[in-house]
Amino acid sequence: MSTDAIVLLKDEHKEIRKTFRAFEKAGEKAYASKKRLVDRMIELLTVHTYIENEVMYPRVRDLLPDLEDDVLESYEEHHVADVLVLELSAMKPEDERFTAKTTVLIENVEHHMAEEEEDWFPKVREGLGRKQLQDLGAEMLRARAKAPRRPSQPGAVKKVVKAVTG
Ligand SMILES: [Fe+2]
Ligand SMILES: [Fe+2]
């Protein structure tokens, strides 16, 4: 089985996009499905940003110093998503700002994933060999097994604090 880091991350992006499209199709008052979809989104995003923050980004920063600015910008984009996810996790689907906040989360994450996929992941593939990308992917799978699944879990909270303290 391939554990290519970029393939793994793009597969997760695909899963995340599926929940976005389903949310956009849900009826205005389809509260139960909207809630279920946002819960799923929160879980996928919490796990995904965790493995990128803990494994992908620090390794890329070490191995490919030219990409440092892209990595730092991406940490900040994750942080914006973390804040929205944290707020959404405390809201009810009937709340006035629930749909608006989810829409802004979707817009932000779409922009971020497009930048990763089109902008700097190709440079990572160019800079790292196949073997390094396989090892990185294997390390991400190990991190995924212990990743937080809700924004209130310790690993996720630590990430929010780190966004400010570095
Ligand atoms: Fe990311
Ligand atoms: Fe990503």
CA of residue 28 to ligand 2 center, whole Å: 28
CA of residue 36 to ligand 1 center, whole Å: 23
pTM metric for this prediction = 0.94
Contact between 81 and 112 under an 8 Å Cβ cutoff? The reply is: yes
What's the whole-number mean pLDDT along residues 77-86?
Answer: 95
Does the pLDDT of residue 102 top 90, yes or no?
yes
Instruction: Look at residue 153 in the predicted model and tell me its pLDDT.
Output: 84
Q: Which is higher by pLDDT, 37 or 160?
A: 37
Per the listing, tokens 């944290």 go with: 86
Contact between 164 and 59 under an 8 Å Cβ cutoff? The reply is: no
CA of residue 55 to ligand 1 center, whole Å: 11
3-state secondary structure of 113: helix
Write the DSSP assignment of the chain as a string of letters. ----HHHHHHHHHHHHHHHHHHHHHS-TT-HHHHHHHHHHHHHHHHHHHHHIIIIIHHHHHHH-GGGHHHHHHHHHHHHHHHHHHHHHHT--TTSTTHHHHHHHHHHHHHHHHHIIIIIIHHHHHHHS-HHHHHHHHHHHHHHHHT--SSTTSHHHHHHHHHHHH-
Q: What is the DSSP letter of 153?
A: S
CA of residue 52 to ligand 1 center, whole Å: 6
pLDDT-based confidence at residue 157 (cuts at 50, 70, 90): confident
Q: Which is higher by pLDDT, 105 or 165?
A: 105
Instruction: Look at residue 2 in the predicted model and tell me its pLDDT.
Output: 79
Does the pLDDT of residue 91 top 90, yes or no?
yes
Please name the amino acid found at residue 159.
Answer: K
Does the pLDDT of residue 98 top 90, yes or no?
yes
Does the pLDDT of residue 134 top 70, yes or no?
yes
User: Token pair for residue 26?
Assistant: 């849900």
Residues found in the chain? 166
Contact between 23 and 102 under an 8 Å Cβ cutoff? The reply is: yes
Per the listing, tokens 């793009």 go with: 10
Provide the mean pLDDT of the chain: 94
Instruction: Look at residue 163 in the predicted model and tell me its pLDDT.
Output: 77
CA of residue 124 to ligand 1 center, whole Å: 14
Instruction: Look at residue 1 in the predicted model and tell me its pLDDT.
Output: 66
Please name the amino acid found at residue 98.
Answer: F
